Structure 1
Amino acid sequence: MSVFQTYLQLGFFHIFNLQAYDHLVFLLALCAPYVLGDWRRVVALVTSFTLGHSLTLALATLGVVQFPPAVIEALIPVTILLTCAANLRQAGRAGLSRPPRRRPESVLWAPTNALAAGFGLIHGLGFSNYLRELLGQQSRPVLELLSFNVGVEIGQLLIVGLILLVGFLVLRGLGTPRRDWLLVVSGAAGGIAAVLLLNQLTGA
């Protein structure tokens, strides 16, 4: 197996497994407001998040920037809590049961894309701890960084696809109102994030 394939698989399985539940919960909260028909918008959001974490993943892995791991592990649940708070605020608005009208350019220029990229900067620092352990003393792991990022992105898109599919089944199959779906998913994600943050702050 080539180096590219090896790190591609490592990136994919680093995000696509239950041990990465903090990142999975973030993706769940990020996608909660959207339905299957919003897939272009969701792909734009996830890609923005990927661009953010790819930047800090590269900088941290190469030793350009350094942050205490404990701080990053505490900030990750904060990004989830902020995302859930934004979802709950949206759920309180009237007319959530009807898909909002969007201009075509909103897919690329929505403020939430910038927010997702900003949160990606934090998550990338979390990814870097794992990748540095794999790379050891390599000083210029360009191919490894590229393939690892591609693997993470593929894993994220697959997870997002599953989330949207489950949402479709719940909303269309069971007739659940979008507001209820958003409240339940965001509440659950926020609860998990609160426990993670508490554990980090208390050293549990």
Structure 2
Amino acid sequence: MAHDHDDQGHDHGQEPPGEMELRVKALESLLVEKGLVDPAALDAIVDHFEHRVGPRNGARVVARAWTDVAYKSRLMADATSAIAELGYSGGQGDHMVVVENDPGVHNLVVCTLCSCYPWPVLGLPPVWYKSAPYRSRAVIDPRGVIAEFGTRLPDEIEVRVWDSTAEIRYLVLPERPAGTEGLTEDALAALVTRDGMIGTARL
């Protein structure tokens, strides 16, 4: 099951655009030329998803929960309201539930019907999250799926699978890594990954 990797060491500036990128650019140019799309509106949408929503938001939620006991209590009791305290709310995030990993439990999130996903805290869903193999196998063989992402869990750790729907979307609260007691909230947030908040990784 493929997932995103950072291609370090490659000069992406020298790579020719792929077929999909060329199609998108051609469609965008045509829509702008016909006056059907405002380029400024497109820029605003891109900026929104690059800088205002995305995994960095979820990472802030996790880091705050790791450092603020009262906030964590509110988060576990009413995730939607607690997440909104940090300014993250809106469509695809109106009914949030946070599930917590601990030494004996690992949580995994999937949407078996389509691709329900908490956009305000995780941004756009990765391609693999929407794929039929992930959606079916995450329920049937969650340990195997997690292993394909590079995380092999000991048998004694229970794996719980949560099915996101249009009514409820889940976010995993990973365990705080050992040895991070002296780190600031910003530094802790930098340790949190998207996959850790979905459950395909364990921090």
Specify if TM > 0.5.
no
Structure whose CA Rg is larger: 2
Higher relative contact order (CA 8 A, sep 6+): 1
More strand by share: 2
